[in-house]
C-alpha cells in the first residue's frame, strides 16, 4: 500500500480517477478488478470501431450523413485501444515512476523544494485539465444527437453515432439499450485517451521538477563543499542516475503511444479542418463549433507531448550550466574529475522520441501545425473555386560589445605570455573572462529569443506583402511615389534581418574562434601542467553561443540568405505570372568617458524619452515618460482598429491600417516589456559601462570600439529605413493629386497619413527599443570577444596565473549571465514580433500583388517599404542571434588557441569545464522555443511565399 500525502493527492489524483475507471492505473492494489475493467473497456472500444467501420462499408443512404464523425470516433477508438494496451503492458515500469513520485512528495526536504515541485505539479494539472475539459466538451457535442431521443420513432431514430445501417430495424427497448451503450463507449474512449496523456504529463513534469531540484542542489554545492569532507559528488551522481533511469522508463513506455498519437492527430486535424471549412460555408454553427473543439483537443494532445519533451530537455541541459556556475575551481582533483563526467553526460540532453524515429519537441508540433494549415489552405482554395527598430539597435550594440570582448579574449589567449610569473593564475583569469562572456551572450540570446521569433515571423509576412505583392503591381502602373515608399519599407525590414543575421554569425564566429586563438598561440611552449587542460577550453568553444529565435532557429547569415533566396524565387514567379533605478546611482553623478558616450549616447537619445533607457534614474518621471509614450503609441492601435471595425475604407487603406496596428502593438509590447524587465537590461548596461570605464589595453579598446561602431551603424541604418517609411506614409496623401481634388457634392474627406477618417469622424515604428536591445547585445558580444582575446593572450609566465585565469572564468560566467538575462527579456517580444511580421508580410505581399495587377505604383512602393522595414528588424535580430551564439561558442576555441599544454596541472583540470560550457552557448529565442537566426528568417519567408503563391493563383483566376 503506497502512502499518499496531501501534496501527492494534489499532484496525481486527477489522473488516477480516469485511469482507475478504465483499469490502467499502475499502482492499483486490486489487480483482478482492474483487469476486468480493462477488458470491458477494450471490448467496448473494439465493438465501437468495428461497428463504425462496418457502417461505412455497407454505405447505405444514411451511413454517410456525417462521415467526419465516423472517422474521428473510429480513430479515437483505435488510439484508445493502443494507449490502454501499452499502459497495461508497461504497468510495472510506470508503477516505478509513480511510486518514486509519491515517495518524492513524502520526502520533501524544505519549503523551497516543495514550492518547486508544486509549481511543476500545477503546470501539469493546468495542461491535463485543459485537455480533459476540451475532451468532455467534444463528448457533449456528440451527445447533442440525443435531443430528439424522447420523441424517437421507428422511422425517425437518431443514434449517438451514425449506425443506422446496422440497427435499422430494432425495437424501442433495443434502441434505448444501444443508445445507452454508445454513450458508455464514447465515455470510455474519452477516458482512455485523456488518462494516458494525464499520466504522462504528470510524471514528466514531476521529473522536470526533480531535475530542477537537482540543479538547485548543484547551485549550493559551494556551501556543501565547505562543510563536508571527502567527495561531495556521489549523492548528486546517484540522484542524477536515478532520474535518468526514470526518464528512460517513461520514454520507453510512451514511445509507441507518442508516434501513434502524432500520426493520428495530424490526419484528424486535416479531416476536422475540412469539416470546419465545409460547415462554415453552409453556416452550420453546431458542426463548426464541434470541429473547432475537436481540433483543439488534437492540437492539445500534440502540444502536451512536445511541451513535456522540451521541458525535459531544457532542465537536463540546465544541469550543465549549474555545474559551470559553481565554484568548481576550488574543488579537489577527484571532485573535478567527477564533475567532468557529469557535465559530459548533461551535454547530451534528455529527449523524448516518437517510436525511436524522431525527437518530440515544440518544433515537431510547429511542423505538424504548418503541414495541416498548408493542407487546409489548399482545401479552402478548392472549395472556394467551387515599429520596433531602436530595440534592435540596442540589442545589436550590446551583442557587438560582447563580440568585442570575445575578440579581446581571443587576443589574450593568442598572446598569452608564458614567461611571466603566476602563469596558472593568469590563465585562470582568461578562463573566468571566458565564463563571463558566455554568460553575457547567453543572457542576450535568451532575452531576444522570443522577440526574434516574433520579428522573423512578422518580417517574413511583411516582405511578402510589401515586397513582392505591392511593388510588382505598382511597377506595372508606374506609380513612382508608392514604388519608392514600398522599396524603403521593404529595405527597412531587410536591414533588420540582415543585421541580426550578421550579428548572429559574428557572435558565433567570435565564440568559436577562441579555441582557434589558443591554437594559434605558442601553446607548444606552455608548461606540461597547462597543456593538459587546453583541450577543455577547445571543447567548450566547439559549442558556441548563438542567437536563436525561440531557441530552435539559429539567427545567422545562412538564415538570412535562405529567406532572401525564397523571396527572390517567389518574386521571379510573380514577375512571370503577373507580367512583372535598480543598481545604479543617479546617472547625473556618472562621469562618462568618450568611449561610453560614443557607444551609448545614440541609444540614450532614442530610449530616454520613452522611459526605457536602462541607465536612467527609475523614478516617477521616467515612469510618466513611459506612460506617455505608451499612450501615444496606443493611438496607432486604436485608430486603425476603429477603421477596420467600421469597414469604411478601401482595401489599400485597410491593409495600411492593419500594418500600422501591428506596428503599434509591437511598439507597446516592447516599451512595456523592456520596462518590466528593466533589471536585466540594467545589469547588462551597467556591465557595459564598467567595461568602458575600466578598459586599459589598447587592443581590447579597439575591439570594443569596433563593436560600438557597428552598433551605431546598425542603429542609423535601421532608423533611416524606418523613418523614411514613415515619411512616405506622411507625404503620399499630399502627392496623390486625384485624392486631393475636393468635390463639394461628395462627403469623402481628404486622406490622413494614418487611416483614421471613420475614427475621427464618429505609424509608429518601435525602433528605439530595438536599438536599445541591439546595442547592449553587441556590447556583450564585444565583451565576449575581449574575453576571447584574454584567453588567447593569457600569460602563464606572469605571477598569480591561477588567480588571473580564475578571473577570466568568472568574467565568462558573468557575461553568460548577462546574455541570458537579455535573452529572457526579449524572448516574449521576439515571439510576438515574429508572429506579427509574418502576418504582415503575407498581407502586404498580397497588397503588392494587387497593386502590380492594377498598375498602382504608389501602393507597390509603399508595400515594398513596409516589408523592408519589417525585414530589417528580422534581419537585425537574426544577425545579432548568430553573432552572439558564435561569440559564445568561440570561447572554448580561444582557450584551445592558447598554450594550454604549458599550464599548471591544477589549471589544466579546469579547462574541460570551460570548453564544455561553450558547447551550449546562449542563444536568442522567441518564446524560449524558436531560435532567432537566418534559418528562421528563411522558414518565415518560405511560408509567406508559399501562402502568397496560392493567393496569386486566386487573383489570376
743 domain-assigned: no
Stronger pLDDT, 953 or 683, i.e. the higher one: 683
Residue 931, helix vs strand vs coil: strand
Which of 15, 254, 221 shows the shortest CA–CA distance to 127?
15
State whether 632 and 549 are in the same domain.
Answer: no
Residues 862 and 879: their CA atoms lie apart, in Å, by 25
For the segment 690-710, what is each residue's pLDDT rounded down to a tens digit? 887 787 777 778 888 888 888
For the segment 236-264, what is each residue's pLDDT rounded down to a tens digit? 778 888 888 888 888 888 888 888 888 88
109 class by beta-carbon count within 10 Å (0-12 exposed, 13-18 middle, 19+ buried): exposed
Task: Copy the grid coordinates of residue 893.
Answer: 576555441
224 domain-assigned: yes
Stronger pLDDT, 544 or 479, i.e. the higher one: 544
How many domains does one find in the chain?
3
Instruction: Flag whether pLDDT at 62 surpasses 60.
Output: no
Measured CA distances, 941 to 415, 564, 666 (Å): 44, 8, 20
State whether 597 and 540 are in the same domain.
Answer: no
For residues 912 and 340, the answer to whether their CB atoms sit within 8 Å is yes
For the segment 712-747, what is each residue's pLDDT rounded down to a tens digit? 877 777 777 676 666 666 666 655 544 444 444 444
For the segment 201-211, what is each residue's pLDDT rounded down to a tens digit? 889 999 999 88
Instruction: Flag whether pLDDT at 188 surpasses 80.
Output: yes
Question: Is residue 662 very low, low, confident or very high in pLDDT (cuts 50, 70, 90)?
Answer: confident
State whether 351 and 426 are in the same domain.
Answer: no
State whether 278 and 397 are in the same domain.
Answer: no
Measured CA distances, 301 to 134, 226, 297, 365 (Å): 11, 47, 6, 10
620 domain-assigned: yes
State whether 537 and 636 are in the same domain.
Answer: no
Instruction: Flag whether pLDDT at 221 surpasses 70.
Output: no
State whether 837 and 866 are in the same domain.
Answer: yes
Residue written as grid cell 435531443: 147
State whether 848 and 911 are in the same domain.
Answer: yes
- pLDDT on residue 39: 92
For residues 883 and 441, the answer to whether their CB atoms sit within 8 Å is no
Mean pLDDT of 399-414: 83
585 domain-assigned: no
Mean pLDDT of 627-649: 73
Instruction: Flag whether pLDDT at 149 surpasses 50.
Output: no
State whether 344 and 402 are in the same domain.
Answer: no
This prediction's pTM? 0.54
Q: Which of 352, 381, 410 is the last residue of a domain?
A: 381
State whether 825 and 919 are in the same domain.
Answer: yes
Which of 811, 824, 837 shows the shortest CA–CA distance to 894?
811
For residues 467 and 836, the answer to whether their CB atoms sit within 8 Å is no
Mean pLDDT of 362-369: 77
- pLDDT on residue 753: 47
Q: What is the mean pLDDT of the chain?
A: 75
Measured CA distances, 594 to 61, 401, 694, 705, 779 (Å): 85, 16, 13, 11, 16
- pLDDT on residue 745: 42
Q: Which of 544, 578, 612 is the last residue of a domain?
A: 578
Stronger pLDDT, 586 or 46, i.e. the higher one: 46
CA atoms within 13 A on the CB side of 899: 24
Exposure string over 517-527, b if 16+ CB within 10 A, otherwise e: bbbbbebeebb
State whether 122 and 54 are in the same domain.
Answer: yes
Stronger pLDDT, 919 or 249, i.e. the higher one: 249
Q: Which of 554, 578, 602 is the last residue of a domain?
A: 578
1 domain-assigned: no
287 domain-assigned: yes
Residue 359, helix vs strand vs coil: strand
- pLDDT on residue 762: 33
State whether 838 and 879 are in the same domain.
Answer: yes
Domain region containing 534: 388-578
State whether 32 and 161 are in the same domain.
Answer: yes
370 domain-assigned: yes
Residue 28, helix vs strand vs coil: coil
Mean pLDDT of 103-110: 83
Instruction: Flag whether pLDDT at 303 surpasses 60.
Output: yes
Question: Is residue 676 very low, low, confident or very high in pLDDT (cuts 50, 70, 90)?
Answer: confident
Kindly state the percentage of the chain with pLDDT values over 90.
0
583 domain-assigned: no
For the segment 19-53, what is each residue's pLDDT rounded down to a tens digit? 888 888 888 777 888 889 889 989 988 888 888 87
Stronger pLDDT, 309 or 337, i.e. the higher one: 309
Determine the length of the chain.
Answer: 957
- pLDDT on residue 405: 85
Amino acid at each position: 500500500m503506497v502512502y499518499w500525502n496531501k501534496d501527492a493527492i494534489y499532484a496525481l489524483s486527477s489522473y488516477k480517477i480516469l485511469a482507475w475507471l478504465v483499469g490502467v492505473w499502475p499502482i492499483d492494489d486490486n489487480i483482478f478488478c482492474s483487469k476486468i475493467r480493462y477488458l470491458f473497456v477494450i471490448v467496448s472500444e473494439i465493438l465501437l470501431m468495428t461497428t463504425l467501420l462496418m457502417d461505412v462499408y455497407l454505405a447505405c443512404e444514411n451511413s454517410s450523413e456525417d462521415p467526419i464523425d465516423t472517422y474521428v470516433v473510429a480513430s479515437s477508438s483505435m488510439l484508445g485501444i493502443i494507449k490502454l494496451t501499452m499502459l497495461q503492458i508497461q504497468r510495472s515500469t510506470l508503477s516505478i515512476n509513480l511510486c518514486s513520485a509519491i515517495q518524492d512528495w513524502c520526502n520533501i526536504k524544505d519549503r523551497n523544494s516543495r514550492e518547486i515541485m508544486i509549481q511543476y505539479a500545477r503546470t501539469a494539472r493546468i495542461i491535463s485539465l485543459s485537455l480533459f475539459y476540451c475532451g468532455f466538451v467534444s463528448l457533449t457535442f456528440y451527445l447533442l444527437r440525443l435531443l430528439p431521443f424522447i420523441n424517437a420513432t421507428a422511422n425517425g431514430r437518431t443514434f449517438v453515432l451514425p449506425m443506422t445501417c446496422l440497427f435499422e430495424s430494432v425495437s424501442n427497448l433495443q434502441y434505448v439499450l444501444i443508445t445507452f451503450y454508445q454513450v458508455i463507449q464514447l465515455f470510455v474512449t474519452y477516458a482512455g485517451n485523456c488518462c494516458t496523456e494525464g499520466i504522462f504529463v504528470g510524471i514528466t513534469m514531476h521529473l522536470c521538477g526533480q531535475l530542477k531540484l537537482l540543479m538547485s542542489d548543484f547551485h549550493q554545492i559551494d556551501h556543501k563543499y565547505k562543510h563536508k569532507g571527502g567527495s561531495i559528488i556521489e549523492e548528486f551522481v546517484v540522484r542524477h542516475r536515478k532520474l535518468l533511469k526514470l526518464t528512460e522508463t517513461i520514454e520507453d513506455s510512451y514511445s509507441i503511444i507518442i508516434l501513434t498519437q502524432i500520426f493520428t492527430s495530424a490526419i484528424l486535424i486535416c479531416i476536422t479542418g475540412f469539416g470546419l471549412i465545409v460547415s462554415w460555408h453552409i453556416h452550420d454553427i453546431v458542426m463548426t463549433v464541434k470541429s473547432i473543439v475537436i481540433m483543439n483537443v488534437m492540437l492539445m494532445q500534440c502540444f502536451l507531448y512536445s511541451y513535456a519533451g522540451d521541458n525535459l530537455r531544457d532542465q537536463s541541459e540546465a544541469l550543465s550550466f549549474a555545474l559551470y556556475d559553481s565554484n568548481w575551481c576550488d574543488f579537489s582533483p577527484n571532485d573535478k574529475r567527477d564533475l567532468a563526467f557529469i557535465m559530459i553526460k548533461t551535454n547530451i540532453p534528455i529527449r523524448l522520441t516518437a517510436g525511436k524515429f524522431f525527437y518530440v519537441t515544440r518544433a515537431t508540433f510547429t511542423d505538424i501545425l504548418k503541414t495541416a494549415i498548408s493542407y487546409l489552405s489548399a482545401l479552402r482554395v478548392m472549395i472556394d473555386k467551387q515599429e520596433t527598430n531602436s530595440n534592435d539597435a540596442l540589442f545589436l550594440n550590446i551583442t557587438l560589445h560582447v563580440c568585442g570582448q570575445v575578440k579581446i579574449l581571443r587576443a589574450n589567449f593568442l598572446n598569452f605570455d608564458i614567461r611571466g610569473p603566476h602563469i596558472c593564475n593568469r590563465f585562470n583569469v582568461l578562463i573566468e573572462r571566458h565564463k563571463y562572456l558566455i554568460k553575457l551572450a547567453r543572457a542576450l540570446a535568451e532575452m531576444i529569443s522570443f522577440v526574434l521569433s516574433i520579428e522573423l515571423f512578422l518580417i517574413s509576412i511583411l516582405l511578402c506583402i510589401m515586397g513582392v505583392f505591392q511593388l510588382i503591381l505598382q511597377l506595372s502602373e508606374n506609380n513612382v511615389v508608392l514604388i519608392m515608399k514600398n522599396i524603403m519599407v521593404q529595405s527597412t525590414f531587410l536591414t533588420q534581418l540582415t543585421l541580426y543575421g550578421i550579428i548572429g554569425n559574428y557572435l558565433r564566429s567570435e565564440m568559436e574562434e577562441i579555441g582557434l586563438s589558443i591554437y594559434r598561440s605558442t601553446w607548444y611552449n606552455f608548461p606540461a601542467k597547462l597543456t593538459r587542460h587546453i583541450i577543455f577550453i577547445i571543447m567548450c568553444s566547439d559549442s558556441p553561443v548563438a542567437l536563436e529565435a525561440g531557441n530552435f532557429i539559429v539567427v545567422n547569415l545562412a538564415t538570412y540568405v535562405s529567406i532572401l533566396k525564397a523571396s527572390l524565387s517567389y518574386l521571379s514567379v510573380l514577375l512571370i505570372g503577373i507580367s512583372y533605478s535598480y543598481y545604479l546611482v543617479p546617472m547625473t553623478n556618472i562621469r562618462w568617458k568618450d568611449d561610453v558616450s560614443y557607444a551609448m549616447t545614440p541609444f540614450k537619445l532614442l530610449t530616454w524619452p520613452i522611459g526605457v533607457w536602462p541607465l536612467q534614474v527609475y523614478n516617477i518621471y521616467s515612469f510618466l515618460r513611459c506612460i506617455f509614450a505608451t499612450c501615444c503609441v496606443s493611438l496607432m492601435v486604436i485608430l486603425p482598429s476603429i477603421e477596420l471595425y467600421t469597414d469604411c475604407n478601401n482595401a489599400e487603406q485597410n491593409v495600411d491600417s492593419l500594418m500600422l496596428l501591428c506596428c503599434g502593438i509591437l511598439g507597446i509590447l516592447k516599451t512595456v516589456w523592456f520596462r518590466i524587465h528593466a533589471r536585466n537590461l540594467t545589469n547588462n548596461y551597467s556591465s557595459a559601462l564598467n567595461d568602458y570605464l575600466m578598459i586599459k589595453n589598447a587592443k581590447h579598446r579597439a575591439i570594443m570600439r569596433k563593436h560600438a561602431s557597428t552598433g551605431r551603424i546598425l542603429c542609423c541604418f535601421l532608423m533611416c529605413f524606418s523613418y523614411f517609411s514613415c515619411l512616405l506614409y506622411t507625404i503620399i496623401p499630399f502627392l496623390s493629386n486625384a485624392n486631393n481634388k475636393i468635390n463639394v457634392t461628395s462627403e469623402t474627406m481628404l486622406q490622413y497619413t494614418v487611416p483614421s477618417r471613420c475614427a475621427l469622424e464618429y505609424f509608429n515604428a518601435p525602433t528605439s527599443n530595438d536599438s536599445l536591445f541591439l546595442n547592449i547585445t553587441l556590447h556583450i558580444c564585444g565583451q565576449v570577444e575581449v574575453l576571447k582575446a584574454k584567453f588567447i593572450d593569457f600569460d602563464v609566465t606572469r605571477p598569480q596565473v591561477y588567480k588571473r585565469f580564475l578571473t577570466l572564468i568568472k568574467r565568462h560566467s558573468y557575461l553568460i549571465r548577462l546574455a541570458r538575462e537579455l535573452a529572457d527579456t526579449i524572448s516574449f517580444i521576439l515571439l510576438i514580433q515574429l508572429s506579427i511580421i509574418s502576418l504582415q508580410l503575407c498581407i502586404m505581399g498580397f497588397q503588392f500583388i494587387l497593386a502590380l495587377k492594377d498598375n498602382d505604383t504608389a501602393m507597390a512602393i509603399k508595400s515594398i517599404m513596409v516589408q523592408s522595414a519589417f525585414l530589417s528588424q528580422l534581419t537585425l535580430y537574426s544577425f545579432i542571434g548568430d553573432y552572439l551564439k558564435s561569440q559564445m561558442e568561440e570561447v572554448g576555441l580561444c582557450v584551445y588557441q592558447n598554450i594550454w599544454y604549458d599550464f599548471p596541472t591544477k589549471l589544466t583540470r579546469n579547462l574541460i569545464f570551460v570548453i564544455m560550457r561553450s558547447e551550449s552557448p546562449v542563444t536568442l529565442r522567441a518564446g524560449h522555443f524558436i531560435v532567432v537566426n537566418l534559418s528562421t528568417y528563411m522558414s518565415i519567408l518560405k511560408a509567406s511565399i508559399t501562402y502568397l503563391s496560392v493567393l496569386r493563383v486566386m487573383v489570376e483566376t
